[in-house]
Each structure stands twice: as structure tokens, then as C-alpha cells.
Amino acid sequence: MPAAPRLKILIPHAAIRRRVRAIARRISLDFRGQPVHLIGILSGACIFLADLARELELEVSIDFMAVASYGRSGKSSGQVRLIQDLGSSIEGLNVIIVEDVLDTGLTLDYLRRTLLARRPKSLRSVVLLDKRSRRLAPEVHPDYAGFEIPDQFVVGYGLDWAGRFRHLRDVCVLLPASRAGRRARSATIP
């Protein structure tokens, strides 16, 4: 039987909560009482979107899209494809794309182009994690970002590995089993 994966906490839940509140305050100020329409990118952004929506001091509507660029390997394929489209029109709305991780920039670039064609009043993006070192589309930047992180595979707070670990409150680095024993703040996950 293979060894259970081990995790190292990269960003503790308390820090995530503080940063989500700060982002929500900034968005609330930027839109000054105007309604916003959050578009969560499934499935990784679901927890971030829920926490962000509850902290906004604005009228909020929510919809979801699903796109794919990753396989089970944890590496981007470089091609983005739409799996689930929005349930309603965004024409004339203040739209904010809510993403879990911005790495290559290809997904966010695809989403921006796709959504701009639908004539929203405004279009912005917010990401929880920004991996700038992996950017293949250097012109792509989020309007709001939580944390810049190194090029490591992370799970928790909505992010998964092969469908596992989304439920974790912290953002954690998934450690290879062979190196896991040498990490100080790691935990065995069943």
C-alpha cells in the first residue's frame, strides 16, 4: 500500500480569513454600493467565493462556470475548454471572476475574452493565490489577489488533488511521500 500523502501548511486559515475580509473591503469601496455579480470558477473557487460573498457590503448575485485545463497530473495542459457555462446573461452587470489560483494565466485570459463578448458593465477578477513565476500570459494580472505563492502544488480551501483535500481550512503544500517525513509542520492525511 502506498504511503499516505502528507501536507505542509502554507497559509493558515486565520491568514486566509483576514485577507478575504481585506479584499472584500476593497471591492466594496471600489463599487460603492453598486451590485456585483460573482462568477465562481468551479470547483476550486467555491469556498473562496462563499467566504468573499459573505464579507462584501454590496448586493451580490452569484453564478458559476466550469473550465478545464488541468488533468489528474496536476499540470496544465495549456488548453482551456468550457465544461459548464453560466446560467444567465451578464449583459450590463458588474462582473467579478472568482478564481482559486492564477498560474499560467491562460484560463483567466480565456475567461476574460469569453465574458467581455457578453457585454458586462464592468469585468474584474479576484484570485486567492497568484503563482506569478508560472505565468505564460505575462499581460494577465488579477484586479484583486490574496497571496502570491511559490510554484508548489497546493490543496485545501477549495483546491484539490484528484478530488481530495478541498475541505481543508488551510492552504497546504502536497508533499511527495518520500520527502514528507522531513517537514516540520506537516500532517498525515487519511
Active site residues: 103
Closest CA to 55 of 23, 99, 33: 23
Q: Is the separation of the CB atoms in 7 and 155 below 8 Å? A: yes
Q: Is the separation of the CB atoms in 20 and 55 below 8 Å? A: yes
Structure letter (DSSP) for residue 41: E
| C-alpha–C-alpha distance, residues 44 and 50, integer Å | 11
Element (H, E) at 50: helix 46-55
| C-alpha–C-alpha distance, residues 58 and 4, integer Å | 43
| C-alpha–C-alpha distance, residues 190 and 170, integer Å | 16
| C-alpha–C-alpha distance, residues 84 and 66, integer Å | 5
